[in-house]
Structure 1
């Protein structure tokens, strides 16, 4: 069965920045990614903008520009850094965003300073201390680092139905366990991000924010976004089809749609004058 061996699965869960082949797999279908992935709550965008000293933002792992466009709509100027050249090209061509292709740890600010460094659904793919150090280097004094994730959980009935599909089709995968953790599954990522910030020493004590919201999905909408997620981007086509068929049947069984309860979690810190 072509699943991730348990020891490798545990490594990627504990240290996802070591699984860079997954991080660089999301650009296989950027149009679908941009269409299907959830946005971020306006309240989160507004708070990050309000707590930043100015409008110059650096978006790390900009992807197709989902978060970047929300910050632009709030009046910010956004430069993106993206390791996947396919994502970067799509964001530049289709969305008119300015994007530099590089792994953030190796990216050079080249004398530029930003009011905020933001990163949506991406920070766990880089080494936490190296990422925080690079962010501090790119921020002007008082500038804000804010990294964030959307964690979602459906009703217990739907969660169990989804989990049953993954236990059958992908028993050794992270996806087979994620529905029992929901948004709380991101607490480890927040802790690791906060620890990396503390170790750098050039940033203030990290804060954690949470924004709760909901989105309803039809069967087709959920199946559209599923192949864009980390547990699915590198599946063999036959295995992916088996997952989609099982999940589709589970959604049909509850009436063809369901509500996802999202918690967007943020780790934020400011650059200190001593940086």
Structure 2
């Protein structure tokens, strides 16, 4: 599962799915990742389940099984696909069945499901090949839903983060302007790529966007626990990570030791049409 504070659509001379080293950096501390990363709104999980023809769910890029466990709690049977064996091992320990492979290379072996979901992961997958594979495994009427948690930092937290990032990482793209703008707008390129891939892959209804707004209160400890799992920090040297965490921790202390984050969870979703 992406979240960078705040996480814009990944930008590089390469497409995100061509930068596997970033996606595969998260397994270096799978336990922290599972403990610290935010969950997804129950309302979204319930809507995906209600909009699918049955209980069989394939969780693409399942990581440690955060979304998979939420779908299981909603009454679904879930199989995960995850390329990082370290993440998959923890998911299995937590009760999720996982095939270790990339989704593009995954062999369905004749299996069919009622929903294909991907939390914080679809941008690491070739959007056309991924949609075509989803169409292959979905039963008619089945649903593809790729979703992301997008957070918008409070202005005072954003200003502090931008200052700390500039000091520790002079080449960081996280300017104050980027951190305080409407974060969902920054993700729109990513959403559009996902929707275009679904259209180009064929076999689906026209994609829709669903949005779910919610809030979460972070203590200093909880936020600093999550930060090393974020893409912006996951590949930094340990001394730079420590510098960023020290600066951010001091700022949160100055604000009273906690803050409230506003989240928008956005799903790009479509229904499998025609015969399987």
Question: TM-score, normalising length from structure 2?
Answer: 0.92
1:27 aligns with: 27
| 1:53-202 pair list within 5 angstroms | 53-93=53-93, 95-176=94-175, 178-181=178-181, 182-202=183-203
Q: Is the 8 A contact 2:153 2:180 kept in 1?
A: no
Give the distance between the partners of 1:169 and 1:216, measured in 2 at CA.
26
1:6 aligns with: none
Give the distance between the partners of 2:139 and 2:11, measured in 1 at CA.
37
Q: Is the 8 A contact 2:150 2:265 kept in 1?
A: yes
1:237 aligns with: 238
Q: Is the 8 A contact 1:114 1:138 kept in 2?
A: yes
Q: Provide the secondary structure at the position in 1 that maps to 2:104.
A: helix
**Mapped pair 1:205 → 2:206:** yes
Aligned CA RMSD, in angstroms, stands at 1.5
Q: Is the 8 A contact 1:151 1:184 kept in 2?
A: no
1:224 aligns with: 225
Q: Is the 8 A contact 1:174 1:231 kept in 2?
A: no
1:253 aligns with: 254
Q: Provide the secondary structure at the position in 1 that maps to 2:180.
A: coil
Q: Is the 8 A contact 1:151 1:185 kept in 2?
A: no
Q: Provide the secondary structure at the position in 1 that maps to 2:231.
A: coil
- Using the TM superposition, give the Cα deviation of residue 202 of structure 1 relative to its aligned residue in structure 2, in angstroms: 1.1
Q: Provide the secondary structure at the position in 2 that maps to 1:110.
A: coil
Give the distance between the partners of 2:193 and 2:253, measured in 1 at CA.
38
1:212-259 deviation digits (Å, cap 9, x = unpaired): 000000111000010011111111111110111111112122111111
Structure 1 unmatched runs, 5+: 1-8
Distance change (3 Å), C-alpha of 1:52 and 1:121: same
**Mapped pair 1:215 → 2:216:** yes
Give the distance between the partners of 1:171 and 1:216, measured in 2 at CA.
29
Give the distance between the partners of 1:126 and 1:24, measured in 2 at CA.
12
1:45 aligns with: 45
- Using the TM superposition, give the Cα deviation of residue 154 of structure 1 relative to its aligned residue in structure 2, in angstroms: 2.2
Q: Is the 8 A contact 1:150 1:183 kept in 2?
A: no
Give the distance between the partners of 2:169 and 2:203, measured in 1 at CA.
42
Deviates more, 1:170-179 or 1:114-123: 170-179
Give the distance between the partners of 1:33 and 1:65, measured in 2 at CA.
11
Q: Provide the secondary structure at the position in 2 that maps to 1:266.
A: strand
- Using the TM superposition, give the Cα deviation of residue 146 of structure 1 relative to its aligned residue in structure 2, in angstroms: 0.3
Question: TM-score, normalising length from structure 1?
Answer: 0.93
- Give the total of aligned pairs: 265
Distance change (3 Å), C-alpha of 1:125 and 1:175: farther
